[in-house]
Chains A and B, each alone.
Chain A
Amino acid sequence: MSVLIYAENSKGKLKKSSFEAASYAYSVANMLNTDAYAISIGEVSNEELEKLAKYGIKKILTVNTAQMHSFVNQAYASVIAEAAKSLSSDVVVLSATFSGKALAPRLAVKLQAAYVDGAISLPTNDASFTVRKGAFSGKAFADVSMSVANKVIAINPNSFPIAENAQPAVVEAFAPSVKDTDFRTIVKEIIQAVDKVSLPEAEIVVSAGRGLKGPENWGMIEELADLLGAATACSKPVSDAHWRPHSEHVGQTGIAVSPNLYIAIGISGAIQHLAGVSSSKVIVVINKDPEAPFFKAADYGIVGDAFEVVPKLIAAVKEFKATHA
């Protein structure tokens, strides 16, 4: 028995979500009186992988062959399944990132495992092994009992604190036996803004809606986001009108986010919008209409014109940063 994490990297660096998964797995391993291990796939240095030791991982398997350098969910699922079998891991933990979600169901089928996606709690310490996840697009939680021996849990990014539990760890090369048919999809190109904070993983999100009137007014939104180290997001009508890309659209039919801080500017707070953002820890709303429904779902609010309030907020954050540097 053991707990295995899939440690995902981006361009050779372990993702923050991988440290969250490590911290989660360490807690689960403690509960089950066993150890937590990791498997990394792709071009990652051993030195980088050793960082996982700080979060309680005892052994790290690495698959760093050229064939495995770009992500193919089918092949990655095969490798993780083989690693889980060789380490007798009955619980596999990964982060519910785009790639994590694309491979985890395949992994669950291979391991004949129960699978919970987007977990927001640790499993209960009993035979029911119950994990909580969001359902109905943020309008409810579901407690899911995983009643078979093998389990795969994809945890929600930003839902678990990273906890240090340093101990010595070894890094070992792992040679999986992948099949040709695992590699039918070929990655031709990756188009990614490296300097931008990615929306699903962002700790702070600055989001704006139709109240901003047009795409030319997003300069102040980006400036505020840059200052706060935040990702930018928008409401659906904004991306439908092509003011902003679809990848920024949050809500029930867009990306669901759960940052520490969500700042909504000129967004009315429609039920479909709230569905994707309501699990944010702190919500700030800036809207000129005191009756905007979003104020009912917010922790802090300013009733005012965004074109006056946002520049003031930028100045206030600059001042704050100058005094708290």
Chain B
Amino acid sequence: MKVLVCISNVPDTTTKINFNDDKTVFNATGVQFIINPYDEIALTRALELTEAQGGTVTVINIGDPSTDVTIRKALAIGATDAVRINSVARDAFFVATQIAAYAKDQGFDLILTGRESIDYNGAQVASLLGEMLDLPSISILKSLQIEGGTATLEREIEGGKEVITCPLPLVASASEGMAEPRIPNMRGIMSARTKPLTVVEPVEVPNFQHIIKFEKPESRGQVKLVNADEVNKLVDLLHSEAKAI
């Protein structure tokens, strides 16, 4: 089985978010970057499947050379090889177009993404790829099994889940519960250095939209504390002042 896992290079979850002075660009100075947490889950599940059934796991990232650190981490976790499309990731449509252009003649049986990137939170790339490659796409998986060329998947829905079957090839996005992310060990880290990382130049992509400004949410005022012995007061405030109940 040939699996492609898409990995996004995102600010660490503890990052305080700042922008440049005119609020048009995210200020990455001093920011620690990590593999998008959902992509780690996707990668781990891909490794579990190929270890059990045979096959390879390629990771792909759209990024400039600075993302090689994150790509090497994915190789250390266990990916077979890696591809970097040499360009700043402009937006989800741009990213998906690059991945589709690369993947279209590679014969992947399975393409996995994370449910969303924790920076721009688009939750788009899996469905975009499905459409661009004319493949089925299933978003927000809770589980993924593969047997004899058919996948059985559980997809999250409001208040529950859907059980779906689908023939390979397909695209799907991973979420929590699907696998426990692996931590690279020393052997993995050593071997990652020599695993192939191919750099590919990007294709041209039209621009349909762009971010014109960022803003940070206003902070809430001072918290109103209610005494633990006067819980009725909280209910009154929630009703008459906050109009929340």
A residues in contact (CB < 8 Å) with B: 10, 71, 73-74, 77, 97-99, 101-106, 108-110, 112-118, 128, 130, 133-148, 181, 184-194, 196-201, 204, 228, 239, 246-247, 249, 252-254, 256, 260-261, 271-272, 275, 278-279, 281-285, 295-305, 308-309, 312-313, 315-317, 319-320, 324
Contact = CB atoms under 8 A, between A and B. Distances in A.
B94 interface: no
17 contacts: A10-B158, A99-B157, A101-B139, A102-B140, A116-B209, A135-B119, A145-B211, A187-B164, A191-B163, A192-B157, A246-B142, A296-B223, A298-B223, A299-B242, A302-B234, A303-B225, A319-B235
A253 B176 contact: yes
A289 B25 CA distance: 38
B70 to A, nearest CB: 17
Contacts, number: 274
Interface of B: 11, 13-14, 16-17, 19, 26, 37-38, 92-93, 96, 118-128, 130-132, 134, 136-140, 142, 152, 155-167, 170, 175-177, 207-217, 220-221, 223-228, 231-232, 234-239, 242, 244-245
B238 A284 contact: yes
Given A134-B121, A303-B228, A184 B167 contact: yes
Contact of B158 (A138, A140, A200, A295): A200
Given A249-B176, A261-B244, A185 B124 contact: no
Contact of B118 (A199, A253, A299): A253
A77 B121 contact: no
Nearest to B122: A117
A315 B235 CA distance: 10
Contact of B213 (A143, A148, A272): A143
Nearest to A131: B209
| 7 A-B pairs closest in CB distance | A304-B228, A192-B160, A198-B158, A105-B127, A102-B139, A261-B244, A114-B209
Contacts of B140: 98, 101-102
Given A134-B121, A282-B238, A97 B158 contact: yes
Residue picked from B37, B152, B177, B221, most chain A C-beta under 10 Å:
B177
Contacts of A275: 13
**Interface of B: prevailing SS:** mixed
Given A146-B209, A192-B160, A300 B120 contact: no
Given A106-B128, A185-B166, A140 B159 contact: no
Given A140-B216, A247-B156, A316-B235, A188 B137 contact: no
Contact of A145 (B92, B120, B161, B212): B212
Contacts of B166: 184-186
A283 B231 contact: no
B231 A309 contact: yes
B209 A145 contact: yes
A137 B15 CA distance: 11
Contact of B132 (A109, A144, A193): A109
Given A143-B213, A198-B159, A279-B217, A316 B121 contact: no
B214 A140 contact: yes
A128 B158 contact: no
Given A106-B137, A187-B164, A201-B158, A301 B225 contact: yes
A133 B207 CA distance: 18
Contacts of A10: 158
Given A299-B242, A300-B225, 8 more contacts: A101-B127, A105-B128, A108-B93, A145-B211, A185-B166, A246-B175, A253-B37, A309-B228
Contacts of B223: 285, 295-296, 298-301
A142 to B, nearest CB: 5
Contacts of A304: 228
B235 A317 contact: yes
Given A190-B157, A252-B13, A303-B228, A147 B164 contact: no
Residue picked from B11, B124, B134, B142, most chain A C-beta under 10 Å:
B124
Contacts of B234: 284, 300, 302, 313, 316
B164 A302 contact: no
A192 B176 contact: no
Nearest to A314: B231
Contact of A117 (B123, B158, B215, B239): B123
A243 to B, nearest CB: 14
A300 B162 contact: no
